[in-house]
Amino acid sequence: MAVIEKIRTKFGVAASIIIAVGLLLFIIDPSEIMSAVQNMSSKYDVGKIGSKSISYQDFQNDVEKYTRIHELVSGNTVSGEQEQMQVRNAAWQALVEKYLFSKNAKAAGLAVGEAENLALLTSEEYVSPLIANDPSFADETGSFSPEAVKNIARQAKENPDLKLYWDYVQNSVYFQQLNAKYNALFTASNFQNPLQLRKAIEENNNTSDVDFVMVPMSFAPDSTLTVSAGEIKEFYASHKKFFKQPASRDIEYVVFEVKPSATDVKAASDKMVEAYEEFVSTDNMKSFLSRNSEQAWSNRWYKAGEINPVNRQIGVFVDGAAKDAVSEIVTDNNVFYAARIMDTAMLPDSAYVKHILLQGESVAKADSLLEVVKKGENFANLATTYSADKGSAADGEQGNIGWLTQNYMIPGFEDVITAEVNKPYILNTQYGTHIVVVTRKTAPVAKKQVAVLKRTALASKETFNDYYAQASRFADIARGKNGKGKRNTRYQAAVDSTGVYSHVMNNVLESTSSYGGVDNAKQITRWVFDAKKPGYVSEIITIDNNYFFVATLKGIHEEGYADVKEVASQIREQLLAEKRSEKEAADVAAKIEGMTDLAAIAEKLGTSVNSRDGVTFSSLTSQSLDPKFLGAVANAPVGQICGPVAGNIGTYVFQVKSHDTGAFFTEDDARNRARQMAGYTTQMILPVMMEAADVKDNRARFY
């Protein structure tokens, strides 16, 4: 474990949650999704990459492997939903690289040879950035050390945990190099010859000055415009790729939110009043709050306005109160608050901190080393020699943690805000023993230390049972337990008879986890996708022990291409808009036939003349203008009335005053644009691979 502890230490205390090689890897609680796994059939696979099916168990094993690596490196575990999603994405990405990307790279004739891989791991000249920037492989000066790499590789043979970490590093280096080679195939082939370069420059430098009138498209109903079923089918057939869709469902649901009754609120208010009497006078606020408040004691110092997120009325009180003042009880949406000003002081927002971390046997040196620091010995040199933290080197000096604030604070270092400047002292934290010195601070401002008593009125057991009874009554009617009505009418009968509001939610995806602002509701999604036919009604689905849902399935949209019937109305509207545009252009043409003066045309059409200079058809400018109008202007003769042009938002009649060739778009601009497009190309390599291989990502079924 000594090497693993060294790895942890080298990452630096200042970043208390840092992951090796930049990946975020976190603990996942399998109990959240085990209920979704009914058997080992393909339906319950996490996904499919090419011909390889990824079972839930295999995927979970990978997640646990990455989690263990994170624990070894940082000593921390994180279980927040966002972090869990990040680790699942990392695990999935690794599988895509293993079963798809490496296969395609091999087919392209690419490989990473043994000698090349060894150089990437140990050579100072060719070392991979993943190795060079990993503090685990640095020497005492913080520089990359081939010997450190070899030492970890040797010890990995005897230590299973270290072997897991070392294998991970080697795989990361291998795939990064393979990815760089594959990307090079595209960047090198994206060649811009002199003719293409010249054309790009010309296209972006050709501008036009134009006067025009525009008649906005009318959206009034027009009975003369119709779209036939045949036209809809023809459009669908020629644009089918635009109607590709993921699996989704249409549902309706009712939700019964458990809220405290008036009796519950009164009981909470009485308890708050009882606790308030002690709150005003207690000498042990930390202990009192731990027993009586939902908001624990905090050493934080608040400046004006900073406590407002707790409660605005409490914020107003704190900003205007003096030491020892106590607010009245404030009620906000069934939550009760009171505040007491414990202390006031002039304090800085930030402190610049240096430290030397001592661990193990070195802790005994703390007192003597403190005396050496007090005598003015070079702190960076002492940190280089004695500190176990080699990762803290802000501004290029070993031992410098840098600026710490109350929002960015190492656990255990909170008192640096109040510490004296340039007065070294000893500090003990979970990391070890520190020699700490604050070298400078920002200007002091008025701050207050505040205790907040907070109590929330919660629903009693009787109230909870009452809401459950309401949901149960609705579910009984909707599910037909009274034996009345057809399946597709029972739900509506329940809505009508109970008077509740039914929420409509279309296009629910397997990844959907929020319903009407209620989060962590994946249980509803699972039911929705397990329901067999429209009309099915769920039993009561309880979310967070605070919401009772009853849902009914209204429609099923399978993965693939939407049926023409599903998108017929969308297509009809688009075709009607096109026909309306063409008809209105024809009407304008009839009104202005024979006219040659743009001002007279504007008067005839009841509009005015607009002017735009420097209009270009390039992709970099003029984006606010109608594309059809831009195309017409680019090719129109000078001085001639042109149009009408049926645009996307109106009908245009225009006159080009001049076509000019500028020089503002240079050869460098053209080359930079080409490089930018090449960058977009490489970003699309993996997504295109996945589409071509028909990769199925079913993780949303389980998480």
Note the pLDDT of residue 290. 96
Between CA 476 and CA 481, with CA 477 as vertex, the angle to 5 degrees is 55
18 pLDDT more than 50: no
Burial of 661 (0-12, 13-18, 19+ CB in 10 A): exposed
pLDDT digits (tens, 9 = 90+) for 547-581: 999 999 999 999 999 999 989 999 999 999 999 99
486 pLDDT more than 80: no
Note the pLDDT of residue 392. 84
Sequential DSSP letters for 643-690:
EEEE-SSEEEEEEEEEEEE---S-HHHHHHHHHHHHHHHHHTHHHHHH
Reported residue count of the chain is: 703
Helix (H, G, I), strand (E, B) or coil at 438: strand
pLDDT digits (tens, 9 = 90+) for 179-224: 999 988 888 777 778 888 888 877 778 889 999 999 999 888 889 9
DSSP state of 124: T
User: What values do phi and psi take at 44, rounded to 5?
Assistant: -105, 20
Note the pLDDT of residue 487. 66
Q: How confident is the model at residue 39 (pLDDT cuts 50, 70, 90)?
A: very low
Note the pLDDT of residue 11. 45
* Average pLDDT over the chain, rounded to an integer: 87
404 pLDDT more than 60: yes
474 pLDDT more than 90: yes
Q: What gap in Å lies between CA 208 and CA 311, rounded to an integer?
A: 58
pLDDT digits (tens, 9 = 90+) for 115-132: 999 999 998 889 999 888
Sequential DSSP letters for 7-51:
HHHHT-TTSSS--GGG-------GGGTGGG---SSGGGEEEEETT
Q: What gap in Å lies between CA 643 and CA 652, rounded to an integer?
A: 6
Strand intervals (E) in 221-293: 244-245, 248-257
13 pLDDT more than 60: no
Note the pLDDT of residue 594. 92
Which range (426-440, 483-497, 560-574) has the least confidence?
Answer: 483-497
601 pLDDT more than 80: yes
Note the pLDDT of residue 36. 40
Ordered strands of the 641-646 beta sheet: 610-615, 206-216, 650-661, 641-646
| CA nearest neighbour of 360 among 427, 433, 430 | 433
Strand intervals (E) in 465-558: 503-508, 541-543, 547-557
Q: How confident is the model at residue 69 (pLDDT cuts 50, 70, 90)?
A: confident
Radius of gyration from C-alpha coordinates of the chain: 34
Q: What gap in Å lies between CA 322 and CA 436, rounded to an integer?
A: 33
Q: Which helix (H) or strand (E) holds 52?
A: strand 52-55
DSSP state of 466: H
Q: Spell out the residues 6+ positions from residue 456 whose beta carbon is closer than 8 angstroms to its own.
A: 268, 294, 334, 335, 336
394 pLDDT more than 90: no
Q: Spell out the residues 6+ positions from residue 185 whose beta carbon is closer than 8 angstroms to its own.
A: 108, 110
This prediction's pTM? 0.67
Q: How confident is the model at residue 623 (pLDDT cuts 50, 70, 90)?
A: low
User: Which residues are paired to 651 by β-bridges?
Assistant: 215, 646
Note the pLDDT of residue 197. 82
241 pLDDT more than 60: yes
For residue 545, the tally of other CB atoms under 10 A from its CB is 9
